[in-house]
Amino acid sequence: MGKAWVEGDVTEVSVLQEGERLFLSTGYSYVKVTNNGQDQLLKLPIKSEGITELVERFQHEEPRPPVKRIRVEPDSLEGRAIGLRTAQMVDVFDFTDEQYLKQKREHEHKLGLAMVLHGLNVMFKDKSGDIVKDDDKKLSILKEMGMSVEQFQTIINDIRNLTKIEEERGLDF
């Protein structure tokens, strides 16, 4: 359940100064692990910095559905919506195309991986203790550590929620 906002939680801003990091949000993602039947929460620091730019970059690479030509009758839902008087051939996006759906899933998976790598506010080190900067190596480390899909999704949701006001957290004044 989200926090109920009260007036003391709200800061009025009247000046936006270049160089300030006013909108940077930080927090934690709590990820459940179970070892030998014992549940434990890992507290991972996360940040919002760079996520907007990352999402914008990925939007430019998002796959587009193919276009198909269909016949639309004037008395159909679509025909009435566009005010047709006679049947016409119309170009529409095919959001059910298997190749498009596969590309879209791959794109969303890559975006999720990038969000986790950029949103985790942790240092990655290799087996020798050297700092890792390469994203592919960081992904390899996470996979070797056994990160599950559920844990991965928890981190993504927590990163997104750093700057999101939920409905139940609406302002209470």
- pLDDT value at 169 more than 80: no
Q: How confident is the model at residue 125 (pLDDT cuts 50, 70, 90)?
A: very high
Q: Is 2 within a domain?
A: no
What's the pLDDT score for residue 168? 47
Per-residue pLDDT tens for 6-55?
A: 556 788 888 988 888 888 889 999 999 999 999 999 999 999 888 888 88
Q: Is 152 within a domain?
A: yes
Q: What is the mean pLDDT of residues 127-137?
A: 94
- Within 13 A of 35's CA, how many CA atoms are on the CB side? 4
Q: Is 18 within a domain?
A: yes
Q: Is 1 within a domain?
A: no
Structure pTM? 0.70
More confident of the two residues 6 and 61: 61
Q: Give residue 20's domain range.
A: 7-169
**Domain tally, the chain:** 1
User: Rounded to whole angstroms, how far apart are CA atoms 127 and 142?
Assistant: 13
User: Rounded to whole angstroms, how far apart are CA atoms 24 and 159?
Assistant: 12
Q: Is 156 within a domain?
A: yes
Q: How confident is the model at residue 155 (pLDDT cuts 50, 70, 90)?
A: very high
